[in-house]
Amino acid sequence: MPSVMIRKETETGNLTLYIAKKDLEETVTSIEFDSEDRWGGQFDLADGSSYYIDPLDAPPKLPITLRAKRA
Amino acid sequence: MTIDKSATDALIEEVLDVYPAKAKKDRTKHLASNDTEATKSCVTSNRKSLPGVMTARGCAYAGSKGVVWGPIKDMIHVSHGPVGCGQYSRAGRRNYYTGTTGVNAFGTMNFTSDFQERDIVFGGDKKLASIVDEIETLFPLAQGISIQSECPVGLIGDDIEAVAKTKGKEIGKTIVPVRCEGFRGVSQSLGHHIANDTVRDYVLEGAADKEQKREVGPYDVAIIGDYNIGGDAWSSRILLEQIGLNVVSQWSGDGTLPELENTPSVKLNLIHCYRSMNYISRHMEEKYGIPWMEYNLFGPTKCEESLRKIAAFFDETIQAKAEEVIAEYKKQWEPIVEKYKPRLQGKKVMLYVGGLRPRHVIGAYEDLGMEIVGTGYEFAHNDDYVKTATEVKDATLIYDDVTGFELEKFAEVIKPDLIGAGVKEKYIFQKMGIPFRQMHSWDYSGPYHGFDGFAIFARDMDMTLNNPCWDKLTAPWKKTEDEALAETA
Ligand code: SF4
């Protein structure tokens, strides 16, 4: 379960996912739940990999560090 | 010469052909022709170098001691382990600073625990403790100490954290144990990361208990990831101050420990070298809510762009001042472009450097009418290549952790008018008769940042490229017997 940081890029507005352990930063291409009452689930990345983050009850304030599983 | 994708791909194929199949397969992933439309990195990066090839990379210790920690001038950075790692890299990066060396600043000095056989056998912790005492006696004005582990320290399992803790309490100063042994990771990049993490854990955390003495203003910013090479941070800082910002700290060129401690109260972190200091900026954003912004002060186009971008973050007074500053400097740089552009127009440049320069300096060359025909990083990650894709033309050759052989071959075919890389490449290309600038520490020149730096940059490129010496050179191994004889006669 690596820690990942989700961030909204100031310039592009894209979400990025950063895996500290692998020192890898990738653009998020899709996120499973992205609504007012549910946020998280599967994150698909530009390099083709995806991660799973237990959904939260509301969109968090970004950036935020969370636990993720490889999906 | 216009570059097209098939030619670039053919070149890569041709150069890699001499490798054994497995090595070829591995190296293919690190070389590509640029695609400006790509959303993901066009090459594989941040992987272990291939055994047997010549790489220009450094180690984690180099990333921590040499890059991130080393320039903090009021601390003593002990290269913990055998003497060589520190001695052979001493003062090589030319991180300028003010202060009296040996009294209140220590940048160019080399401190080492000079491990001997007995330290390896019995452990070096006692020695480390006595070194701290010695430092306290000899250099009482040092504000803190960092312990930069070299390979053996990790191998013998010394507990430098414990020593740092007890001795730190004893002398009442910050002592930072850094686990940056050279064998960690694939390049100096992990050293940057480790160093950032120790700044977070030992400096920022520690400072949280200290009383905040600084008066906080609305225009406080920090310069992050500028190592003041040849005075770079100074020629950047001056611009930021002229547009009305208050530079609270410089990370880490000409920086001090109190400056680092003050950073969590700034309004904006300005990042020059993203690769080596994004970690701490991310941390400060998450923990203290400080936004950060990348900027680029190479060449007037990028300077103007960056100053406007930075000013846009603040109010109208700053924005108005930024315009004034930009207009004022225009008078300074236009004659420079006028003078040098005709001499440099259309010249082709190949780059191979570290953290940010393979993409950041492109603007400065383009301002002089020059063209980048190949670029690559020693230790970049995928995001660096994504950012590079939009800076260079389609089908430009991109190389990651390029080997000595590949770079030479590429240069032979591409025939650049100028190569900008490190000292390990310098003499080879010079002997080949190709104009060369050492772009890590500006070949004993600089600063290159800001409008002031651009004047020096332009002069240096002209001086190197249009030097009459190049066509008088024949590489020693290409000399005919007669020439060699004539020389000795
Ligand atoms: S790899 Fe190890 S021994 Fe070599 S310079 Fe780095 S720390 Fe020193």
Average pLDDT, chain B: 94
- In angstroms, the CA B246 to CA A26 distance is 33
- In angstroms, the CA B114 to CA B111 distance is 9
The whole domain housing B300 covers: 220-332
Phi-psi region for residue B290, left (φ > 0), alpha (ψ -120 to 50) or beta? Answer: beta
Q: Are B69 and B103 in contact (CB under 8 A)?
A: no
The answer, for B200 touching chain A at a CB cutoff of 8 Å, is no
Task: Let me know if residue B371 belongs to a domain.
Answer: yes
Sorted by sequence, the CB contacts under 8 Å of residue B5 that are 6+ apart come out as B33, B394, B395
- CATH number, domain of B138, equals 3.40.50.1980
pLDDT tens, position by position, B359-418: 999 999 999 999 999 999 999 999 999 999 999 999 999 999 999 999 999 999 999 999
Task: Let me know if residue B480 belongs to a domain.
Answer: yes
Task: Let me know if residue B413 belongs to a domain.
Answer: yes
The verdict on B202 and B251 lying in the same domain is no
- In angstroms, the CA B128 to CA B166 distance is 12
What are chain A's domains? Answer: 3-70 (2.40.50.240)
User: What average pLDDT does this structure show over B190-202?
Assistant: 96
What local confidence, expressed as pLDDT, does residue B475 receive?
73
What local confidence, expressed as pLDDT, does residue B485 receive?
74
- With tokens 């491990």, the residue in question is B115
The verdict on B38 and B101 lying in the same domain is no
For this structure, is B195 an active site residue?
no
Q: Are B268 and B289 in contact (CB under 8 A)?
A: no
Using most ligand atoms within 8 A of CB, pick from B61, B83, B149, B186 the residue to mutate for ligand 1. Answer: B61
The verdict on B255 and B175 lying in the same domain is no
Answer yes or no: is the C-beta of B446 below 6 A from any ligand 1 atom. no
Q: Is the pLDDT of residue B315 over 80?
A: yes
The verdict on B255 and B146 lying in the same domain is no
Task: Let me know if residue B215 belongs to a domain.
Answer: no
The verdict on B337 and B296 lying in the same domain is no
Q: How close is the nearest chain A Cα to the Cα of B408, in Å?
A: 30
pLDDT tens, position by position, B158-187: 999 999 999 999 999 999 999 999 999 999
Task: Let me know if residue B214 belongs to a domain.
Answer: no
Nearest to B303 by CA among B335, B331, B329, B267: B329
Smallest Cβ–Cβ distance between B286 and the set A10, A25, A63 belongs to: A63
The nearest alpha carbon in chain B to A65 belongs to B286
- In angstroms, the CA B250 to CA B262 distance is 10
Task: Let me know if residue B283 belongs to a domain.
Answer: yes
- pLDDT-derived band at B148 (thresholds 50, 70, 90) equals very high
- With tokens 């020593």, the residue in question is B163
The verdict on B31 and B159 lying in the same domain is no
- In angstroms, the CA B129 to CA B10 distance is 58
The verdict on B242 and B272 lying in the same domain is yes
The verdict on B257 and B193 lying in the same domain is no
- In angstroms, the CA B339 to CA B320 distance is 30
Q: Are B192 and B251 in contact (CB under 8 A)?
A: no
What local confidence, expressed as pLDDT, does residue B2 receive?
58
Domain count for chain B, please give it: 3
The verdict on B180 and B227 lying in the same domain is no
Q: What percent of chain B has pLDDT over 70?
A: 98
The nearest alpha carbon in chain B to A17 belongs to B383
Q: Could you report the predicted ipTM of this complex, rounded to two decimals? A: 0.89
Answer yes or no: is the C-beta of B150 below 6 A from any ligand 1 atom. yes
Q: Are B449 and B230 in contact (CB under 8 A)?
A: no
Name chain B contacts of A7, Cβ cutoff 8 Å.
282, 285
The verdict on B171 and B293 lying in the same domain is no
One-letter amino acid of A59 = P
The nearest alpha carbon in chain A to B290 belongs to A63
Q: Closest Cα to atom 6, ligand 1: which residue?
A: B182
- pLDDT-derived band at A12 (thresholds 50, 70, 90) equals confident
Q: Is the pLDDT of residue B205 over 80?
A: yes
Task: Let me know if residue B264 belongs to a domain.
Answer: yes
Q: In the listed set B186, B207, B228, which residue is the last one of a domain according to the structure? A: B207
Q: Is the pLDDT of residue B1 over 80?
A: no
Nearest to B437 by CA among B402, B470, B471: B470
What local confidence, expressed as pLDDT, does residue B212 receive?
66
Residues in A whose CB is inside 8 Å of some CB of B read 5, 7, 10, 18, 20, 23-27, 46-47, 63-65
What local confidence, expressed as pLDDT, does residue B144 receive?
97
pLDDT tens, position by position, B271-313: 999 999 999 999 999 999 999 999 999 999 999 999 999 999 9
Task: Please list, residue by residue across B275-291, b when 16 or more beta carbons sit within 10 angstroms of its beta carbon and e when fewer do.
Answer: bbbbbbbbbbbbeeebe
- pLDDT-derived band at B472 (thresholds 50, 70, 90) equals confident
The verdict on B471 and B376 lying in the same domain is yes
- In angstroms, the CA B281 to CA B198 distance is 13
Q: In the listed set B332, B352, B386, which residue is the last one of a domain according to the structure? A: B332
Contact B282 A7 (CB under 8 A): yes
Q: Is the dihedral of CA B305, B306, B309, B315 positive or negative?
A: negative
Answer yes or no: is the C-beta of B185 below 6 A from any ligand 1 atom. no
Task: Let me know if residue B327 belongs to a domain.
Answer: yes
Q: In the listed set B284, B306, B332, which residue is the last one of a domain according to the structure? A: B332
The verdict on B9 and B102 lying in the same domain is no
